[in-house]
Chains A and B, each alone.
Chain A
């Protein structure tokens, strides 16, 4: 079954702890993205990567970090510096960062709750 796999689906974290969300894709896509989805605010871009070993900050990168050591993997770390981490996180990928009109595919998402 091809596509984008996010894990875990549900995660609870204590305040002050870092947590890493996994995102793996077997679509051979160059570009990968992390979005945060909050009620009434739509999706906001956290980080994106156009190619291996490269990534850029999105609109709300503060308190988050990423790495792109492998083409198929783009893990997101929610650090203790993120003031309001409880949210639904969506990972996505697309064939190329520059190809006009290419489709972005989404994972099923991960729910993070800080307790």
Chain B
């Protein structure tokens, strides 16, 4: 069975500081990983996916199969980055399994 773990429930950083959200997974197949974000009073929405190798809003995430991790990073956090972030893994049948989420608070 697949599992996604986000060890930090809350990350508090100052504006301009780097931020890294940890995500570890367990899955026997070939993983497909995503980061979703939920801003205050908005819907949960896709931030980025590992297959695209893209940078969205300054965030990047690299899949490390050896360490079974997909950490999300941003070198300079902004106040508008304050939100709830979820790491997710897509398994067979398009079943998407989410981690417990990390709340990011960027202080001015």
Chain A residues packing against B (C-beta within 8 Å): 31, 33, 35, 40-45, 48, 50, 56, 58-59, 90, 94, 96-98, 100-109
Q: Which of B1-29 contact A (CB under 8 A)?
A: 4, 6, 9
- The residue that A33 contacts in the complex, of B32, B96, B99, with Cβ under 8 A, is B96
Contact A40 B100 (CB under 8 A): yes
In Å, the complex CA distance between A107 and B43 comes to 7
Contact B51 A101 (CB under 8 A): yes
Residue of A nearest to B9 (CB): A40
Contact B93 A108 (CB under 8 A): no
| Complex interface bits, B83-101 against A, C-beta within 8 A gives 1, otherwise 0 | 0001000000111111111
Residue B44 at the chain A interface, CB threshold 8 Å: yes
Contact A43 B98 (CB under 8 A): yes
Chain B residues packing against A (C-beta within 8 Å): 4, 6, 9, 32, 43-46, 49, 51-52, 86, 93-101
Contact B44 A90 (CB under 8 A): yes
Summarize B's interface: helix, strand, loop or mixed.
Answer: mixed
Contact B101 A97 (CB under 8 A): no
Starting from the known contacts A98-B93, A103-B46, 9 additional A-B residue pairs (CB-CB under 8 Å) come to: A40-B101, A42-B4, A42-B86, A45-B95, A45-B96, A98-B94, A106-B43, A108-B43, A109-B43
Contact B97 A45 (CB under 8 A): yes
Contact A97 B9 (CB under 8 A): no
Shortest CB distance A21–B (Å): 16
Contacts of B32 in A (CB 8 A): 100-101
In Å, the complex CA distance between A97 and B92 comes to 9
Q: Identify which of A42, A50, A106 gathers the most chain B CB atoms within 10 Å of its CB.
A: A42
Contacts of A106 in B (CB 8 A): 43-45
Shortest CB distance A64–B (Å): 16
Shortest CB distance B55–A (Å): 17
In Å, the complex CA distance between A96 and B4 comes to 23
Q: List 27 A-B contacts (CB under 8 A).
A: A31-B94, A33-B96, A35-B98, A40-B100, A42-B6, A42-B98, A42-B99, A42-B101, A43-B86, A43-B98, A45-B95, A45-B96, A48-B95, A59-B97, A90-B44, A94-B94, A96-B94, A97-B93, A101-B32, A101-B49, A101-B51, A101-B52, A102-B94, A103-B49, A104-B46, A105-B45, A109-B43
